[in-house]
Chains A and B, each alone.
Chain A
Amino acid sequence: MSQPRKGMAAALRDAALATAVAFGLFVIMVGLRTDVAPSGALFLRTRWPDVALLCGLVFAGRLVMSLWQARPRAPAAPKLGGTMQRAGRALGPALLAAALLLPFTPGIGRYELDLGILVLTYIMLGWGLNIVVGLAGLLDLGYVAFYAVGAYSYALLAQAFGLGFWVCLPLAGILAAFWGILLGFPVLRLRGDYLAIVTLAFGEIIRIVLLNWTDLTGGPNGIGGIPRPSFFGLPFNMSGEPGTFAGFFGLEPDPVHRVIFLYYLILALALLTNWVSVRLRRQPIGRAWEALREDEIACRALGINVTTTKLTAFALGAMFGGFAGAFFATRQGFISPESFTFIESAIILAIVVLGGLGSQLGVAIAALVMIGGFELFRDLEEWRMLVFGTAMVVIMVVKPRGLVGSRTPTVALGERRAIGSEHVQEGRG
Chain B
Amino acid sequence: MAYALQQLINGISLGMIYGLIAVGYTMVYGIIGMINFAHGDVFMIGAFIALTAIVMLIGGGLLEGPAAILLVLAISMAFTALYGWSVERIAYRPLRGSFRLAPLISAIGMSIVLQNFVQVSQGARVKPTEPLVTGGITLMREGDFVVQLSNMQMLIIATTLVVLAIFTWLVTRTSLGRAMRACEQDRRMASLLGIDTDRTISLTFVIGAALAAVAGTLYLLRYGVIDFYIGFLAGVKAFTAAVLGGIGSLPGAVLGGLLIGLIETFWSAYFSVQYKDVAAFGILVLVLIFMPTGLLGRQDVEKV
Query: Contact string, A182-203, partner B, CB cutoff 8 A, digits 1/0?
Result: 0000110110111011101110
B116–A385 contact, CB under 8 A? yes
Interface size on A (CB < 8 Å)? 63
Residue of A nearest to B82 (CB): A24
Whole-angstrom distance between the alpha carbons of A33 and B55 in the complex?
A: 10
Chain A residues in 8 Å Cβ range of B91 = 393, 396-397
Partner of B101, one of A35, A192, A209: A192
Complexed CA–CA distance, A202 and B278 (Å): 9
A137 interface residue per 8 A CB criterion: yes
Number of A-B contacts (CB under 8 A): 188
Q: A42-B55, A43-B59 are in contact. Are A390 and B120 (CB under 8 A)?
A: no
Whether A400 and B95, one on each chain, are in contact in the complex, defined by CB atoms closer than 8 angstroms, is yes
* Shortest distance from the beta carbon of B29 to any chain A beta carbon, whole Å: 9
The 8 A CB mask of A159-199 against B (1 = contact, 0 = none) is: 00000000000000000000000000011011011101110
Which of chain A's residues have a CB closer than 8 A to the CB of B285? 186, 198, 201-202, 205
* Inter-subunit contact A36/B125 (CB<8 Å): yes
Say yes or no: A393 contacts B101, CB within 8 Å: no
- Of residues 366 through 411 on chain A, the ones whose CB sits less than 8 Å from some CB of chain B are 382-383, 385-386, 388-393, 396-397, 400
- Residue A349, interface by CB 8 Å: yes
- Flag whether B110 is at the interface (Cβ < 8 A): yes
B112 touches A346 (CB 8 A): yes
Contact B277 A208 (CB under 8 A): yes
Shortest beta-carbon distance from B201 to chain A in Å: 16
Within 8 A of A (CB), among B25-62: 34-35, 45, 48-49, 51-53, 55-56, 59
A-binding residues in B (CB < 8 A):
34-35, 45, 48-49, 51-53, 55-56, 59, 75, 79, 82-83, 85-86, 90-91, 94-95, 98-106, 108-125, 127-130, 232, 236, 239, 274-275, 277-278, 281-282, 284-285, 288-289, 292, 302, 304
Q: Is the CB of A190 within 8 A of B288?
A: yes
Given known A42-B55, A393-B106, contact A382–B119 (CB-CB < 8 A): yes
Closest to A384 in B: B116
A25 at interface by CB-CB < 8 Å: yes
* Min CB–CB distance A42 → chain B (angstroms): 5
Q: Which of A193, A389, A429 contacts B113 (CB 8 A)?
A: A389
A residues 331-366 near B (Cβ < 8 Å) are 342, 346, 349-350, 353
B289 interface neighbour in A24, A141, A186, A389, Cβ under 8 Å: A186
Q: Which 3 A-B pairs have the closest CB atoms?
A: A392-B109, A389-B112, A426-B99
Q: How far is the CA of A346 from the CA of B112 in the complex (A)?
A: 8
Interface 1/0 per residue, A20-32 and B, CB below 8 Å: 0100110011101
Q: Does A197 lie within 8 Å of B106, measured CB to CB?
A: no
Contact B95 A396 (CB under 8 A): yes
A429 to B109, CA, bound (A): 19
Cα–Cα, bound, A212→B94 (Å): 43
Given contacts A44-B55, A196-B101, 6 further A-B contacts (CB under 8 A): A28-B79, A194-B288, A382-B124, A388-B112, A396-B103, A424-B99
Closest residue of chain B to A386 (Cβ to Cβ) is: B116
User: Within residues 123 to 176 of chain A, which ones have a CB less than 8 A from any CB in chain B?
Assistant: 137, 139, 141
A391 touches B109 (CB 8 A): yes
> Is the pair B56, A205 in contact by a Cβ cutoff of 8 Å?
no
The distance from the CB of B51 to the nearest CB of chain A, in whole angstroms, is 6
Instruction: Known contacts A208-B278, A346-B108; decide if A43 and B284 are in contact (CB<8 Å).
Output: no
The answer to whether A204 and B101 touch across the interface, beta carbons within 8 angstroms, is no
Q: With an 8 A cutoff between CB atoms, is A308 at the interface?
A: no
Which residues from B are CB-within-8-Å of A392? Answer: 105-106, 108-109, 112
List residues of chain B with CB within 8 A of the CB of A197: 35, 236, 239, 284, 288
